[in-house]
Amino acid sequence: MNASSRERDRPTEGIIQSQKHQRSSTFWGAAIGTALALAVGFGAPPVAAAPFAYVASFETNSVWVIDIATNLVGAKVAVGRGPTAVAVNRDGTRVYVTNFESNSVSVIDPATKSVIAEVPVGRFPKGIAFAPNGKSAYVTHGGDRKISVIDTATNKVVTSVPMGHASPYGVAVAPDGPKVYLADSGSEAVSVISTAANRAAATIPMEDFALEVPVTPDGKYAYVTNGGSNTVSVIATASNTVVAKIPVGHFAFGLAITKDGLHAYVTNYFSGTVSAIDTASNRVIATIPVPRGVYDIAITPDGKYAYVTNNGVAQLGVVSVIATASHTVERMLFVPGAPEGIGIIP
pLDDT digits (tens, 9 = 90+) for 87-101: 999 999 999 999 999
**Number of domains composing the chain:** 1
Per mean pLDDT, which of 37-46, 184-193, 289-298 is the most reliable?
Answer: 289-298
Annotate the chain with three-state secondary structure. CCHHHHHHHCCCHHHHHHHHCCHHHCHHHHHHHHHHHHCCCECCCCCCCCCEEEEEEHHHCEEEEEECCCCEEEEEEECCCCEEEEEECCCCCCEEEEECCCCEEEEEECCCCEEEEEEECCCCEEEEEECCCCCEEEEEECCCCEEEEEECCCCEEEEEEECCCCCEEEEEECCCCCEEEEEECCCCEEEEEECCCCEEEEEEECCCCECCCCECCCCCEEEEEECCCCEEEEEECCCCEEEEEEECCCCEEEEEECCCCCEEEEEECCCCEEEEEECCCCEEEEEEECCCCEEEEEECCCCCEEEEEEEEECCEEEEEEEECCCCEEEEEEECCCCEEEEEECC
Burial of 64 (0-12, 13-18, 19+ CB in 10 A): buried
Residues 340, 341, 343: CA angle, nearest 5 degrees: 145
In a domain, 184, yes or no: no
The amino acid at residue 212 is E
Residue 192's nearest CA partner among 163, 218, 217 is 163
Between CA 63 and CA 56 the distance in angstroms is 4
Torsions phi, psi for 310 (to 5 deg): -130, 125
20 pLDDT higher than 60: no
pLDDT recorded at residue 208: 85
pLDDT recorded at residue 196: 85
343 pLDDT higher than 80: yes
In a domain, 167, yes or no: no
pLDDT recorded at residue 26: 38
Between CA 285 and CA 10 the distance in angstroms is 31
Question: In 10 A of CB 141, how many CB atoms?
Answer: 25
Between CA 191 and CA 194 the distance in angstroms is 10
The amino acid at residue 22 is Q
Distances (CA, A) of 161 to 84, 119, 135, 137, 212: 21, 17, 17, 13, 19
Q: Determine contact, residues 236/254, Cβ cutoff 8 Å.
A: no
Between CA 292 and CA 212 the distance in angstroms is 19
In a domain, 2, yes or no: yes
Give the tens place of pLDDT for each residue, 77-90.
999 999 999 999 99
Minimum mean pLDDT range among 177-191, 227-241, 292-306: 177-191
Per-residue confidence band for 314, with pLDDT thresholds at 50, 70 and 90: low
In a domain, 246, yes or no: no
Between CA 85 and CA 68 the distance in angstroms is 19
In a domain, 61, yes or no: yes
In a domain, 325, yes or no: yes
pLDDT recorded at residue 185: 83
75 pLDDT higher than 60: yes
In a domain, 267, yes or no: no
Q: Determine contact, residues 336/317, Cβ cutoff 8 Å.
A: yes
32 pLDDT higher than 60: no
- Which residues form the domain of 1? 1-78+290-346
Q: Determine contact, residues 200/192, Cβ cutoff 8 Å.
A: yes
Mean pLDDT on 143-152:
93
Q: Determine contact, residues 164/177, Cβ cutoff 8 Å.
A: no
In a domain, 216, yes or no: no
Distant-in-sequence, close-in-space partners of 209: CB < 8 Å, separation ≥ 6: 11, 185, 188, 226, 227, 228, 229, 251
Residues 60, 346, 117: CA angle, nearest 5 degrees: 45
pLDDT recorded at residue 313: 64
Whole-model pTM? 0.89
Question: In 10 A of CB 218, how many CB atoms?
Answer: 11
225 pLDDT higher than 50: yes
- pLDDT over 90 for what percent of the chain? 73
Q: Determine contact, residues 85/128, Cβ cutoff 8 Å.
A: yes
Per-residue confidence band for 46, with pLDDT thresholds at 50, 70 and 90: very low
194 pLDDT higher than 80: yes
